[in-house]
Each structure stands twice: as structure tokens, then as C-alpha cells.
Amino acid sequence: MPIQTFALIDDTFADFLADDLLVKPALATWERQDYYALRRAVFSDEQQLLAQDRDEKDFQAIPIVAVAHHCGMPERVVGAVRIYETEPGVWYGGRLCVERAYRRHGMIGKALINEAVSRAIDLGCRTFLATVQHANESYFQGLHWQTLQAVDVCGHAHCLMQAQLGCYPFMPRNVALPTRKVVRHD
């Protein structure tokens, strides 16, 4: 009987992508560390949009993350966004990013935006705004946002946009705030 041999070629195996994701505020230390690392990787390293990703808004912002789970255990942060109030009832979202390998699944960005706007509504938001990269304007319009004006951020075209709050779920304050679970479908 001849002996069979097999060669494992790394190129034949795709990177593992978790299909169980949880979108929630970043509470654990490792979640916050991964949150900042992902923002830095996207906005500073990849896009070279910001030399320093952190700013004064991070002191008051609520960080929200999409955490990939494997076998029911949290593994790593694959998406991030922050929300913060600038004046009573006026909230901003910002620094929305998704790890490169997970971007083809538009659900993660949508889930992060949904959580950000819904959480702000729960905290008394009457107006929710964001400066969005021009290339993502139509994506946000599809999620019930309207463009208010074109703006320049660090020499790059952006749009000031406003969420249509009636299109986002309200999370009652007197009930424990649930996290949203997103399951990726290929």
C-alpha cells in the first residue's frame, strides 16, 4: 500500500473570521485597549488621516465596540465608534471603524451606528450628528441619515450628517440596557 503525503499550503486557508459578534459599550480594560488600537490602526496607520487618533473628546465619550466571539468566548474588538454630548440634547458619533477583514460584512458598521444612535437617544439625545468621510455618505443615507453640509476634516472631504432619530429604536432607561447581538451571514 503506497504512503500518501499531503502538503499544507498556507495560501489555501482563509483567515478565520468569527461569525458571532456582540455590539456594546466597551467596559473591560482589554475592550478599551482594543478599541483604541483599532482606531489607531484605521485612522492613523491605514488611512493616515490623523497623526494622533485620540483627542479631548475621548475624555467624555462613550466607546462602543463590536466584539468577535469564538465558541462563546469574547476574542477581540473588530469594530468601534464613540458617542459624546456637546450640549444638552446634542450628541455626536465619531471614529466609526471596522477591522479590514470584517468590512465586507456591512452589518457591523450598521450595528455600531444603530447602537450609537439608540444609546444616545436613551441618554436624552434630540439631535445626533456625525462628520462622515465623503466616500461613506451614501452608506449613511441608506441608514436614515441626511447630509447637512460638506466639511473639511484634516484636508479630507467629509459631510456633516444628521440621523433621523425616529428610525432608531428607543431603549427605555428604567430597564437594564441590553447589548445587541449581530450574527454574520455569509
Look up the pTM and report it: 0.79
Considering the four listed CATH numbers 3.40.47.10, 3.40.50.920, 3.40.190.10, 3.40.630.30, the one that applies to the domain covering 18-178 is: 3.40.630.30
pLDDT of residue 21: 85
C-alpha 148/C-alpha 127 separation (Å) is 12
Residue 11 pLDDT: 53
Q: If the chain, 186 residues long, is cut into consecutive pieces of 10 residues, what is the mean pLDDT of each piece?
A: 57 57 92 92 74 76 91 85 96 92 83 94 96 92 95 87 90 49 46
pLDDT of residue 9: 53
Distance (Å, whole) CA 175 – CA 159: 35
